[in-house]
Chain A
Amino acid sequence: MFDLTLTPEQLEMRDTLRDFAQREMKAAAIHPDRLQPFEKPVMTDMLGKAAQLGIRTLALSEEAGGAGADNLTTCIVLEELASGEVDIATILGTTAALGRTLFDTLMSAEQKARYVKAFVDDDSYHLAFAGTTAEAGIGWTYHRDAYDEGMVAPSAVKQGNDWVINGRVEAVSNAPLAKLFAVQVRTDSKKTGMSGLSTFLIPRDTAGLKVQDTITAFGGPDNTLTRWHHGTVAAVELKGCKVPAANLLGKEGGCPFADGKLLARNAVAMAAVSLGVGRASYDAAVDYAKMRRQGGRNIMEHQAIGTKIADCTIKLELSRNMVWKAAWALDHPEAVADRSVSELPLHVIARVASAEAVHEVTLLAAECFGAMGVMRDMPLQKYVNDGFIFAHSEDTDGAAKLQIAESVAGYQRKLAA
């Protein structure tokens, strides 16, 4: 049965979030004073308001105290939120997806009992995953069992009933806000690649865990690097960080995140966030094209602009189809099992396709604004920048795309060198 009907709850959540994003978030997000500087701090008050709407615990099961939203609902909500402000949607989307994965899938009953109440009760409680997956950079070892030597993880050594962790994880999404980290460490120093890794739950206030300074607009020697990230991000340093064995997620050496399947949820969530940015630029272009008069008529009535608007519409509709399909497939494994939908990595297809489409949509939308499209007090250039970050990231570029080809070829990658 092929059915695109949304439930009354999904429609209501979409309308509520759309209203919140358009009426509350947008005015603050695209105020010229915020748009003009390179550095755009997270709007923490707005993040709090969005959390109060229940987005932070959206995907957490109802038994655990969340809304128990499925992947499709989460995508619908995140697109709306991101059309208001991308960083807030990214932060909340990351916490929401990890909330479901950590509390409902990976934690033992005892671990869940220790952490879930604080997570549910505290609107400023965020989650972060500090580690990598086999999917990262997969294209560089396309059809080979070798691994990118770049993959390093902090080392963990057992001392009695504790593990002592040393090392550093760069670029951890949500790290500046997270109160609980899932940190991937190497518990078997003889193994390499994705083998010999384990994941620990480490609360932020654990001695020896230090979140480094939040990454700002520019970094590196002489500002030779520019922040290329949505949400908020920082490195996490672990120095003699002692973690009880009871904080091990799953089994030692089990490395639950290794094959990337658990993070498929995050991938479709981020695809939905990118759609929201594309939609924001598109909505702005449509409004403007209907209002701006040149050559004796509204520019919407010129074929040249009509073509751009049509192209944007096509790209967004196609992307949303793919994102929703990938989300729905995650929600309905039985539909994959009975061959209703393919076994291909739909979440990767959704992530890459939406990133490319949104990148193109933001550029076309900006073009409708003429010179105003490049002005920093206008939101179009911000959407374009966001689109570039989506399209040129480790999750979406040409190397990321090759995991689709490996899947098509039926290539089975070994998890260790």
Chain B
Amino acid sequence: MDFSLNEEQRHWQAEARKFAADVLRPASVARDQIEGGFAPWDWDIIEAGSKLGFRTLAVPKDWGGPGADFVSQAIVMAELAKGDSAMSKAFSQNWKWSHLISVACSDDQKQRFLKPFLADHRYVMGRGITEPNSGSDNRMPPEDDPKAGYRLRAVKDGNEWVLNGEKCFIANGSVGSLFFVDARSNPDVNIKQGGTLFMVPKGTPGFRIGKVFNKRGWRFYQNAELIFENARLPQENVVGSVGTGSVKAGKGDTTGGDIFGDLELAANALGVCDDAVEMAMAYARSAKRAGKYLMEHQLVQLRIHEMHMLTEALRSYVLRTAWQHDAGEHSANAGFVMNYSTDLIQRVTRLNMQVHGAEGCMMNSRVDKLVRDAMVWTHLAGDTVQRVKILKRLK
């Protein structure tokens, strides 16, 4: 066994740590406190990170990207998340779709979409699966039920497809240049047989952005409605084949899929936990109650002990899973580590809140922000549907 990082991994770690400390962290609380769904977003931060390679980190080297391995990706996500969890996610969201393009798209599609993605610091991507009435249904559809799952309709018209319907909560929705969108090319069979995955660039006629969601946590990160009213797409924008469902279309790498997507949330949570631990330690060593530093009170010692213990356990699980991915080994661990990270990020951010405590009628804003960001996990990475779904990966 060998836990050491190689030179490239250490390079990315150092770069990400510096960028998080210099750019993300100083902007973090201020962006979080801006009212509204869209307003907390800041293109300058995306551009600055993009210039350092964080937007395109997962694009393979033969397509001109950094081609970082999974261990590097996990490390970078955690380091960036230590600066700001939502900003880290805004970068890594693009890695998912870079993975998908590399694995599942034709050379023509790569030319048309990967090239502009690499060239434009403001080119970000997202994936539209969820609809107002199809959330859990997509993740865990009842077997063979044609009524379950997304309903967005795709009808062939000559060499084009006409899309009608809407998606909601879509990542990077309000800022994306390209979306992968799941649609029903055949509504009479289940989504595995009647689902087709499309690439929808911004500016497609009949396609527009609706409401931008205003969230409790991850306020920098964008989620929006995508609205399709007779949106027309060429046949060439179909990923894989028609009517295979998105799993096959993505050659198994659906959400960046079991290979990346789940690891992403776990690695991000690790960064938040690291941040919480550091904050708690600094506070406990500087603030006093009843004449003693907090660190000298058993109440606080036990909290800080638990925070460290859980964070180190998560670090081991994240890096082990990333290592398994680099070794090409599929397992249920990506799912488990994501669910585990949900439990841990809740616990660790709340312990941090306990260590800081309410000061009269006030709470440290960043301590509160970490708790609010952590809540997103419960609704994304560790809900019961996700947990039940992971069981299907067990052999």
Residues from chain A with Cβ under 8 Å of B379 in the complex: 366-367, 369-371, 373-374
Quote the shortest CB–CB distance from B86 to chain A (angstroms): 12
Residues from chain A with Cβ under 8 Å of B145 in the complex: 296
Quote the shortest CB–CB distance from B342 to chain A (angstroms): 11
Interface centre among B30, B133, B354, B375 (most CB of A within 10 A): B375
Known contacts A140-B297, A376-B216, A392-B353; 13 further A-B pairs (Cβ under 8 A): A140-B289, A149-B291, A171-B361, A222-B30, A229-B362, A293-B133, A294-B134, A295-B140, A363-B378, A369-B379, A374-B215, A375-B213, A392-B350
Binds A, one of B247-255, B264-272, B383-391: B383-391
| A303-320 near B? 1/0 per residue, CB < 8 Å | 011001000000000000
Quote the shortest CB–CB distance from A278 to chain B (angstroms): 17
Inter-chain CA distance A373–B213, complex, in Å, is 12
Instruction: Please classify how large the interface on chain B is, using the bins under 10, 10 to 19, 20 to 34, 35 or more.
Output: 35 or more
Quote the shortest CB–CB distance from B242 to chain A (angstroms): 26
| A379-392 near B? 1/0 per residue, CB < 8 Å | 00100110011001
Quote the shortest CB–CB distance from A417 to chain B (angstroms): 11
Is B35 a contact partner of A37 (Cβ separation < 8 A)?
Answer: yes
Q: Which 8 residue pairs are nearest across A and B when measured between Cβ atoms?
A: A304-B384, A229-B361, A171-B360, A228-B363, A140-B290, A381-B216, A171-B361, A140-B289
At the interface, yes or no: B111 with Cβ under 8 Å from chain A?
no
**Which A residues are within 8 Å of any B CB, using their own CB?**
36-38, 137, 139-141, 144, 146-150, 170-171, 215, 218-220, 222-229, 233, 293-296, 299, 304-305, 308, 363, 366-367, 369-371, 373-377, 381, 384-385, 388-389, 392-394, 397-399, 402
Is B290 a contact partner of A148 (Cβ separation < 8 A)?
Answer: yes
Residues from chain B with Cβ under 8 Å of A227 in the complex: 361-363
Contacts A224-B364, A294-B137, A375-B214 given: A397-B290 contact, CB under 8 Å? no
Residue of B nearest to A401 (CB): B299
Is A371 a contact partner of B362 (Cβ separation < 8 A)?
Answer: no
Contacts A295-B141, A375-B214 given: A224-B29 contact, CB under 8 Å? yes
Residues from chain A with Cβ under 8 Å of B214 in the complex: 36, 375-377
At the interface, yes or no: B122 with Cβ under 8 Å from chain A?
no
Contacts A149-B291, A150-B289, A363-B378 given: A385-B216 contact, CB under 8 Å? yes
Residues from chain A with Cβ under 8 Å of B134 in the complex: 294
Binds A, one of B42-50, B180-188, B196-204, B365-373: B365-373
15 A–B contacts, CB within 8 A, in A order: A141-B290, A144-B290, A223-B30, A225-B363, A233-B361, A305-B384, A363-B375, A369-B379, A370-B379, A371-B135, A373-B379, A374-B217, A375-B215, A388-B371, A398-B299
Contact among A137, A146, A308, A388 with B353 in the assembled complex (CB-CB below 8 Å):
A388
At the interface, yes or no: B208 with Cβ under 8 Å from chain A?
no
Is A139 a contact partner of B299 (Cβ separation < 8 A)?
Answer: yes
At the interface, yes or no: B2 with Cβ under 8 Å from chain A?
no
Is B383 a contact partner of A397 (Cβ separation < 8 A)?
Answer: no
Is A215 a contact partner of B362 (Cβ separation < 8 A)?
Answer: yes
Residue of A nearest to B147 (CB): A296
Inter-chain CA distance A190–B258, complex, in Å, is 69
Residue of A nearest to B353 (CB): A392
Is A223 a contact partner of B29 (Cβ separation < 8 A)?
Answer: yes
Quote the shortest CB–CB distance from A240 to chain B (angstroms): 25
Is B216 a contact partner of A384 (Cβ separation < 8 A)?
Answer: yes
Residues from chain A with Cβ under 8 Å of B213 in the complex: 375
Residues from chain B with Cβ under 8 Å of A375 in the complex: 213-216
How many pairs of A and B residues are in contact by the CB < 8 Å rule?
A: 154
Is A374 a contact partner of B290 (Cβ separation < 8 A)?
Answer: no
At the interface, yes or no: B136 with Cβ under 8 Å from chain A?
yes
Contacts A146-B291, A295-B140, A398-B299 given: A223-B33 contact, CB under 8 Å? yes
Residues from chain A with Cβ under 8 Å of B384 in the complex: 304-305, 308, 367
At the interface, yes or no: B148 with Cβ under 8 Å from chain A?
yes
Contact among B137, B350, B362 with A228 in the assembled complex (CB-CB below 8 Å):
B362
Quote the shortest CB–CB distance from B359 to chain A (angstroms): 7
Residues from chain A with Cβ under 8 Å of B66 in the complex: none
Contact among A226, A366, A369 with B363 in the assembled complex (CB-CB below 8 Å):
A226
| B16-44 near A? 1/0 per residue, CB < 8 Å | 00000000000001100101110000000
Is B35 a contact partner of A225 (Cβ separation < 8 A)?
Answer: no
Residues from chain B with Cβ under 8 Å of A305 in the complex: 384
Is B358 a contact partner of A392 (Cβ separation < 8 A)?
Answer: yes
Quote the shortest CB–CB distance from A109 to chain B (angstroms): 35
Contact among B136, B360, B375 with A370 in the assembled complex (CB-CB below 8 Å):
B136
Contact among B36, B147, B299, B360 with A399 in the assembled complex (CB-CB below 8 Å):
B299
Is A225 a contact partner of B371 (Cβ separation < 8 A)?
Answer: no
Inter-chain CA distance A413–B134, complex, in Å, is 59
Interface centre among B133, B297, B358 (most CB of A within 10 A): B358
Residues from chain B with Cβ under 8 Å of A215 in the complex: 361-362
Residues from chain A with Cβ under 8 Å of B37 in the complex: 376
Quote the shortest CB–CB distance from B173 to chain A (angstroms): 13
Interface centre among B290, B353, B359 (most CB of A within 10 A): B290
Inter-chain CA distance A304–B137, complex, in Å, is 14
Residue of A nearest to B357 (CB): A397
At the interface, yes or no: B376 with Cβ under 8 Å from chain A?
yes
At the interface, yes or no: B169 with Cβ under 8 Å from chain A?
yes
Is B357 a contact partner of A295 (Cβ separation < 8 A)?
Answer: no
Contacts A295-B137, A394-B357 given: A226-B215 contact, CB under 8 Å? no
At the interface, yes or no: B142 with Cβ under 8 Å from chain A?
yes
Is A392 a contact partner of B291 (Cβ separation < 8 A)?
Answer: no
Residue of A nearest to B130 (CB): A371
Residue of B nearest to A220 (CB): B362
At the interface, yes or no: B282 with Cβ under 8 Å from chain A?
no
Is A392 a contact partner of B357 (Cβ separation < 8 A)?
Answer: yes
Inter-chain CA distance A377–B216, complex, in Å, is 10
At the interface, yes or no: B309 with Cβ under 8 Å from chain A?
no
| B315-326 near A? 1/0 per residue, CB < 8 Å | 000000000000
Quote the shortest CB–CB distance from B297 to chain A (angstroms): 7
Residue of A nearest to B388 (CB): A304
Residue of B nearest to A35 (CB): B214
Residues from chain B with Cβ under 8 Å of A389 in the complex: 358
Quote the shortest CB–CB distance from B358 to chain A (angstroms): 5
Inter-chain CA distance A68–B220, complex, in Å, is 51
Residues from chain A with Cβ under 8 Å of B216 in the complex: 374-376, 381, 384-385
Residues from chain A with Cβ under 8 Å of B142 in the complex: 295-296
Inter-chain CA distance A263–B35, complex, in Å, is 38
Quote the shortest CB–CB distance from B90 to chain A (angstroms): 17
Inter-chain CA distance A376–B368, complex, in Å, is 16
Quote the shortest CB–CB distance from B218 to chain A (angstroms): 8
Quote the shortest CB–CB distance from A406 to chain B (angstroms): 14
Is B365 a contact partner of A374 (Cβ separation < 8 A)?
Answer: no
Residues from chain B with Cβ under 8 Å of A374 in the complex: 215-217, 375-376, 379
Inter-chain CA distance A324–B126, complex, in Å, is 51
At the interface, yes or no: B52 with Cβ under 8 Å from chain A?
no
Quote the shortest CB–CB distance from B265 to chain A (angstroms): 14
